[in-house]
């Protein structure tokens, strides 16, 4: 790998999180020390068939693992901690630094994976400071949709580098207040470089306070007479607490469905963010003991996930909960881009079953984002006044708009850098520069294995899903160069053979003619050559006849029963 980072360079780059929303992993490197910031996953788009998660390519870290100081976690969301088990399988991590609820979430996650190397988890507080070789690290508490979200402050020989993590400016938060005084103090002292969350950079104004949503939910509960089913993100601990508080206020018992939601309740109670009188949360078996207006069902599935609790309730396949007349479903979330179709399908099924459905709208505030909008991003610039700016955590358009906002607030145009994953930004005594690239990329996870799904397999799955499979099972007498048995056809997702007998016979006859012609040309029969040649021939023939490109799979058998 070409060397792009000198020992005295303060280098910053991403192995994930730029040009995308998810898969966050940022690297700060100085004096042969690597600080890894977050290790998240990306949930796959619908075109990544059969893929459970997308993670970073760890090649750079594998080659430089002796330099790694530790893994530093900004907060406990899956797009920031979900990749930790896979990272530990591949890379030696001396310590994981995390705070509050993130510690419990990481510990629970590591229990789920077997044969992981032991790693020390160091729990930091907002007032802690760690000193490394020429680097001092401190923390600033910020607000987000999960408790214990922190910005990192790296004091380096060249100046202060601030990394926000995910954040919003919330002057009336549900949990602890953000430490704005620390931001202002840093700004007065001087900030060399800021890397900041770009997720809501396209959204004007200010993001609504989480407290306002809590009041809106209580108002909704006051008007609903029947059973209430609330779907939200399991990781939004503050929202879960607000739903429990509304249920307590209106004398409702809470029943929790969904494995991740159950885990959130358990961890939230352990760390004190979820509080409720004894007996508020009951088991599903106790539901018949109460009237519908005395029950709140809290569940996963706000994004239309097929196997989540709400989706199974909507389709009538949930083994414990069936919809009844008078049910009201509240979506306390907004669809993640790409999930709208699944959400709409779930909503339609709920309406079809006779339920009332309430989603976030100008009239019903059931959700607010955990990310800063344009007004908050400008406020952060005004507080910190950075010399250099790096928009991170977002698609390119979000990064571009965020960079423009920073320039409006005083950052020089030449000092705002829009990076892609792998791009290396360096600062030294001579100033800042783009220093080249390190290896980066996507790795697909299917099950618990790392990298077992290549791009060629994804392409094959895509072909199978769109155009199907056409397979011929052909027996060849390699000595006499004949086809003694009529080839057998297997078609899946391509044509319905009973309705396409003439077309099927045409393909079989054409394949036989091609093979007999090729067999006549050679002295020794090479079944591999025949297989590749027939695949190309049939693929072109089928496309000419049907305008489709199924996966063509010839299977040859010799009369000596040797399978090829």
- Label residue 475 left, alpha or beta by phi (over 0 means left) and psi (-120 to 50 means alpha): beta
The average pLDDT across 176-185 equals: 96
Q: Is the pLDDT of residue 562 over 50?
A: no
Please, which pLDDT band fits residue 164 given cuts at 50, 70 and 90? very high
pLDDT of residue 419: 97
Describe the chain by its helix, strand, coil percentages, rounded to 5.
Answer: 35, 25, 40
Q: Which residue has the higher pLDDT, 371 or 457?
A: 371
Task: Output the six-digit token pair for 325.
Answer: 């007349």
Cβ partners under 8 Å of residue 110, min gap 6: 84, 85, 88, 116, 119
Residues 376-396: pLDDT tens digits?
999 999 999 999 999 999 999
Please, which pLDDT band fits residue 450 given cuts at 50, 70 and 90? low
Q: Which of 132, 19, 8 is nearest to 70 (CA)?
A: 132
Q: Is the pLDDT of residue 195 over 70?
A: yes
Q: Which helix (H) or strand (E) holds 488?
A: strand 488-492
pLDDT of residue 346: 86
Rounded to 5 degrees, φ, ψ at 531 are -60, -50
- What Rg, from alpha-carbon coordinates, does the chain have? 29
pLDDT of residue 140: 98
Q: Which of the residue ranges 23-32, 45-54, 446-455 would you say has the lowest mean pLDDT? A: 446-455
CATH of 210-358, one of 3.40.190.10, 3.30.1280.10, 3.40.50.10710, 2.70.150.10: 3.40.50.10710
Residues 69-103: pLDDT tens digits?
999 999 999 999 999 999 999 999 999 999 999 99
Q: Could you identify the residue written with the tokens 């059969």?
A: 50
Average pLDDT, the chain: 88
Cα atoms found within 13 Å of the Cα of residue 76, Cβ hemisphere only: 25
Domain spans of the chain, in order of start: 10-205+369-452, 210-358, 455-558
Contact indicator for 389, 406 with CB cutoff of 8 Å: yes
The Cβ of residue 295 has, within 10 Å, a number of other Cβ atoms equal to 21
Q: Which of the residue ranges 135-149, 327-341, 440-454 would you say has the lowest mean pLDDT? A: 440-454
Q: What is the pTM of this model?
A: 0.80
Q: Is the pLDDT of residue 500 over 80?
A: no
pLDDT of residue 177: 95
pLDDT of residue 563: 42
Contact indicator for 227, 293 with CB cutoff of 8 Å: yes
- What size, in residues, is the chain? 564
Rounded to 5 degrees, φ, ψ at 92 are -80, 115
Q: Quick one: what percent of the chain has pLDDT higher than 90? A: 56
Q: Is the pLDDT of residue 105 over 50?
A: yes
**What does the DSSP assignment read for 1-27?**
------TT-EEEEEEESBSBSS--EEE
Question: Rounded to an integer, what distance in angstroms lies between the CA atom of residue 142 and that of residue 227?
Answer: 36
CATH of 455-558, one of 2.160.10.10, 1.10.268.10, 3.30.565.10, 3.10.20.580: 3.10.20.580
Question: Rounded to an integer, what distance in angstroms lies between the CA atom of residue 387 and that of residue 391?
Answer: 13
Q: Which residue has the higher pLDDT, 143 or 561?
A: 143
Question: Rounded to an integer, what distance in angstroms lies between the CA atom of residue 33 and that of residue 419?
Answer: 21
Question: Rounded to an integer, what distance in angstroms lies between the CA atom of residue 26 and that of residue 16?
Answer: 7
Q: Which of 30, 93, 100, 122 is nearest to 427 (CA)?
A: 30
**Coil, strand or helix at 362:** coil
Q: Which residue has the higher pLDDT, 47 or 480?
A: 480
pLDDT of residue 51: 65
The average pLDDT across 111-126 equals: 92
Q: Is the pLDDT of residue 496 over 70?
A: no
Q: Which of 347, 344, 307 is nearest to 328 (CA)?
A: 347
The Cβ of residue 122 has, within 10 Å, a number of other Cβ atoms equal to 16
380 vs 40, 164, 466, CA distance in Å? 24, 10, 47
pLDDT of residue 336: 66
Burial grade of 553 (CB within 10 A; 0-12, 13-18, 19 or more): middle
CATH of 10-205+369-452, one of 3.40.190.10, 3.60.15.10, 1.20.1740.10, 1.10.630.10: 3.60.15.10
The average pLDDT across 122-138 equals: 97
Please, which pLDDT band fits residue 206 given cuts at 50, 70 and 90? very high
Task: Output the six-digit token pair for 114.
Answer: 């077997």
Cβ partners under 8 Å of residue 147, min gap 6: 100, 101, 175, 176, 237, 238, 271, 273
Rounded to 5 degrees, φ, ψ at 431 are 125, -160
Contact indicator for 76, 39 with CB cutoff of 8 Å: no
CA torsion angle 386 391 393 394 (round to 10)? 150
Please, which pLDDT band fits residue 7 given cuts at 50, 70 and 90? confident
DSSP E strands in 236-338: the ranges are: 253-257, 281-282, 295-299, 328-331
pLDDT of residue 6: 87
User: Could you report how far apart the first and last alpha carbons of the chain are, in Å?
Assistant: 40
Question: Rounded to an integer, what distance in angstroms lies between the CA atom of residue 313 and that of residue 299?
Answer: 10
């Amino acid at each position: 790998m070409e060397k792009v980072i000198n020992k005295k360079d303060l280098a910053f780059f991403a192995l994930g999180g730029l040009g995308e929303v998810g898969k966050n992993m940022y690297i700060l490197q100085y004096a042969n020390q690597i600080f890894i910031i977050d290790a998240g996953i990306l949930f796959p788009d619908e075109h990544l068939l059969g893929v459970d998660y997308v993670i970073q390519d760890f090649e750079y870290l594998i080659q430089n693992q002796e330099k790694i100081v530790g893994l530093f976690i900004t907060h406990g969301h899956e797009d920031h901690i979900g990749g930790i088990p896979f990272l530990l399988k591949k890379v030696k991590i001396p310590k994981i630094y995390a705070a509050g609820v993130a510690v419990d979430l990481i510990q629970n996650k590591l229990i789920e994976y077997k044969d992981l190397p032991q790693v020390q988890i160091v729990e930091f507080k907002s007032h802690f400071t760690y000193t490394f070789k020429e680097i001092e690290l401190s923390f600033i508490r910020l607000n987000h949709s999960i408790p214990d979200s922190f910005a990192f402050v790296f004091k380096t020989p060249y100046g202060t580098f601030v990394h926000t993590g995910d954040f919003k400016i919330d002057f009336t938060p549900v949990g602890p207040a953000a430490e704005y005084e620390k931001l202002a103090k840093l700004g007065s002292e001087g900030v060399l470089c800021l890397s900041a969350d770009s997720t809501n950079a396209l959204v004007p104004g200010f993001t609504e306070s989480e407290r306002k949503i809590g009041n809106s939910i209580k108002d909704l509960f006051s008007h609903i007479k029947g059973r209430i089913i609330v779907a939200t993100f399991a990781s939004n601990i503050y929202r879960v607490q607000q739903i429990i508080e509304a249920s307590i206020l209106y004398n409702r018992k809470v029943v929790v469905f969904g494995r991740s939601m159950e885990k959130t309740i358990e961890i939230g109670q352990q760390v004190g963010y979820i509080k409720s009188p004894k007996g508020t949360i009951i088991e599903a078996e106790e539901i018949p003991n109460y009237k519908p207006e005395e029950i709140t069902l809290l569940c996963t599935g706000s994004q239309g996930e097929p196997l989540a609790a709400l989706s199974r309730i909507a389709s009538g396949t949930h083994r414990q909960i069936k919809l009844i007349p008078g049910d009201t479903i509240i979506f306390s979330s907004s669809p993640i881009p790409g999930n709208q179709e699944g959400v709409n399908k779930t909503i339609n099924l709920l309406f079809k079953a006779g339920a009332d459905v309430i989603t976030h709208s100008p009239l019903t505030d059931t959700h607010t984002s955990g990310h800063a909008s344009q007004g908050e991003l400008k406020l952060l610039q005004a507080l910190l006044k950075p010399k250099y700016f790096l928009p991170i955590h977002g698609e390119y358009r979000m990064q571009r708009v965020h960079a423009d906002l920073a320039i409006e607030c005083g950052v020089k145009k030449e000092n705002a850098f829009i990076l892609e994953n792998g791009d290396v930004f360096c600062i030294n005594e001579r100033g800042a520069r783009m220093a080249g690239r390190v290896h980066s990329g996507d790795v697909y996870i299917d099950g618990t294995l790392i990298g077992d799904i290549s791009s060629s397999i994804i392409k094959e799955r895509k072909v199978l899903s769109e155009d199907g499979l056409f397979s011929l099972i052909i027996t060849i007498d390699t000595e006499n160069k004949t086809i003694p048995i009529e080839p057998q056809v297997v078609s899946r997702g391509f044509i319905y053979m009973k309705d396409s007998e003439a077309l099927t016979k045409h393909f079989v006859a054409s394949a036989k003619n091609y093979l007999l012609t090729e067999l006549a040309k050679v002295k020794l029969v090479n079944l591999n050559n025949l297989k590749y040649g027939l695949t190309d021939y049939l693929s072109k023939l089928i496309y000419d006849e049907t305008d489709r490109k199924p996966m063509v799979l010839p299977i040859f058998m010799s009369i000596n029963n040797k399978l090829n």
